[in-house]
Chain A
Amino acid sequence: RKEVEQDPGPFNVPEGATVAFNCTYSNSASQSFFWYRQDCRKEPKLLMSVYSSGNEDGRFTAQLNRASQYISLLIRDSKLSDSATYLCVVKPHGNQFYFGTGTSLTVIP
């Protein structure tokens, strides 16, 4: 079983739509969780960390469900500039980071 699993999509949504991505992880002892964004032919960049209580940054909301071992990312009022691949990242104890395969989002005018 993979450490981190994501629906690869692609998700094609109109501007202004709300879209949600989920990611499941296998190691129940995982401590830290992140969403990264990767634009085409660019390196991944941290979008936001995911905290146990959930957290919001503008149009983006991240949530963690430890009981079901998944994290989610909600994007409200989608913009064309949100088009990218979103990578779920999980960090258990130690130095290892596990990356999901990424979910591709295209926001359509």
Chain B
Amino acid sequence: SAVISQKPSRDICQRGTSLTIQCQVDSQVTMMFWYRQQPGQSLTLIATANQGSEATYESGFVIDKFPISRPNLTFSTLTVSNMSPEDSSIYLCSAWDGSSYEQYFGPGTRLTVT
């Protein structure tokens, strides 16, 4: 299994600012994903982080708002840009071990925008 760490674990940010969330996996993984989870809701996929190329975004999410980097097979970042209170959520990084098809999650980043 993969062990995933995220930082920061939580943050309170002001409207209009940006926050970059880091995700580190303890082993090389095939895929990395970024999800958002609103309180009491299920997970919504933001994008797939592709190593060495642009991320693949889901409908409703755009690169200008959520730029993503994945410079190697163990690390990715998600930036939440020009934040508004509607961006308050938990952001989860996950990794997919392609050999077993199991997906592992980081502990999440709890973001509050005031």
Contacts and interface: CB of A to CB of B under 8 A. Distances in A.
B103 A101 contact: no
> DSSP majority for the B interface?
strand
Nearest to A97: B103
Given A95-B48, A95-B96, A43 B42 contact: no
Interface in B21-56: 31, 33, 41-43, 45, 48
A89 B43 CA distance: 10
A87 B42 contact: yes
B27 to A, nearest CB: 16
A43 B92 contact: yes
Interface residues of A, number: 18
Given A95-B48, A95-B96, A46 B42 contact: no
Contacts of A34: 102-103
Interface in A18-32: 32
Contact of A101 (B42, B92, B108): B42
Given A44-B92, A96-B48, A101-B41, 6 more contacts: A34-B102, A44-B105, A87-B43, A95-B96, A97-B45, A102-B42
Interface of A: 32, 34, 42-46, 49, 87, 89, 91, 95-97, 99-102
Contacts of A43: 92, 105-108
A89 B107 contact: no
Contacts, number: 38
A45 B102 CA distance: 10
Contacts of B43: 44, 87, 99
A101 B41 CA distance: 6
Contacts of A91: 101
Nearest to A6: B42
B57 interface: no
Contacts of A45: 105
A102 B102 CA distance: 18
Q: Which 6 A-B pairs have the closest CB atoms?
A: A43-B105, A101-B42, A99-B43, A32-B101, A99-B42, A102-B42
